[in-house]
């Protein structure tokens, strides 16, 4: 048990929870790509998820736990790194690692704010069925109001946040490989596959937002 709370234990918790969040993001992307298949297909897909609500609730509780484990351990590690760097055992590479941990902390904070806003508008509207007359799940996403994706300032906020998610994933993915003991060689397939996660997935989310903005999804 003590191992979990040691520095390496916390790193392992951050790495594993980060990978689980990545898996959520892949599923979430596939759900949202159905927007390209049109109004009816998307509503059918959300309707199916609604029909298995108890299971979805359990998965959401798990997701919340994973986000908490990831955030709390990452904050603790950032804090203890900073304390170490201010102490007398300053290492040669401390400036680079402190810059890394600062940018991870800033991008992580923006992502948390993004998730709160995203859930506060879209997820909550879905859960409370706060729809206009005749409006469907698909139409909610495409509302031209603050918090929804036809609203240009909201879309810009989404694009910046998703870009930061990509940046956060890039560093997070590489350091998880190190923490979990995989070789960090640029030729190593796992290293290269990382591009799918930190490059293609954020790019696909951004493509959805842009497609709504230019009216390709309408």
Contacts with ligand HEM, residue ranges (CB under 6 A):
25, 28, 31-32, 60, 63, 111, 115, 118-119, 122-123, 126, 141, 162, 165, 205, 208-209
For residue 194, how many other CB atoms are within 10 A of its CB? 19
> Toward ligand HEM, which CB reaches closer, 15 or 164?
164
Question: Is 186 within 8 Å of 195 (Cβ atoms)?
Answer: no
CB of 42 to ligand HEM, least distance (A): 9
Query: Shortest Cβ contact with ligand HEM: which residue?
Result: 208
Q: Which is nearer to ligand HEM, 82 or 118 (CB)?
A: 118
CB of 6 to ligand HEM, least distance (A): 29
DSSP 132: P
- Give the span between the Cα atoms of 91 and 97, in whole angstroms: 10
Taking the least distance from each CB to ligand HEM, the nearer of 81 and 148 is 148
The Cα-based distances of 68 to 13, 75, 104, 186 in angstroms read: 11, 10, 16, 31
Q: Which of 45, 132, 120 is nearest to 142 (CA)?
A: 132
Nearer to ligand HEM, 81 or 142 (CB): 142
């Amino acid at each position: 048990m003590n191992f979990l709370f040691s520095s390496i234990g916390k790193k392992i918790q951050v790495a594993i929870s980060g990978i689980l969040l990545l898996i959520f993001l892949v599923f979430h992307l596939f759900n949202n790509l159905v927007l390209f298949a049109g109004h009816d297909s998307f509503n059918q897909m959300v309707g199916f998820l609604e029909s298995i609500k108890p299971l979805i609730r359990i998965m959401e509780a798990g997701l919340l736990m994973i986000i908490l484990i990831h955030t709390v351990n990452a904050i603790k590690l950032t804090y203890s790194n900073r304390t170490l760097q201010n102490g007398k055992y300053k290492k040669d590479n401390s400036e680079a690692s402190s810059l890394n941990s600062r940018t991870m902390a800033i991008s992580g904070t923006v992502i948390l704010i993004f998730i709160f806003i995203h859930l506060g508008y879209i997820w909550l509207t879905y859960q409370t069925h706060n729809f206009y007359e005749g409006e469907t799940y698909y139409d909610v996403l495409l509302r031209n109001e603050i918090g929804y994706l036809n609203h240009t300032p909201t879309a810009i906020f989404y694009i910046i946040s998703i870009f930061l998610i990509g940046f956060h994933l890039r560093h997070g993915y590489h350091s998880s490989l190190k923490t979990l003991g995989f070789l960090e060689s640029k030729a190593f397939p796992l290293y290269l596959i990382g591009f799918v996660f930190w490059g293609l997935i954020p790019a696909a989310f951004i493509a959805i937002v842009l497609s709504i903005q230019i009216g390709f999804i309408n």
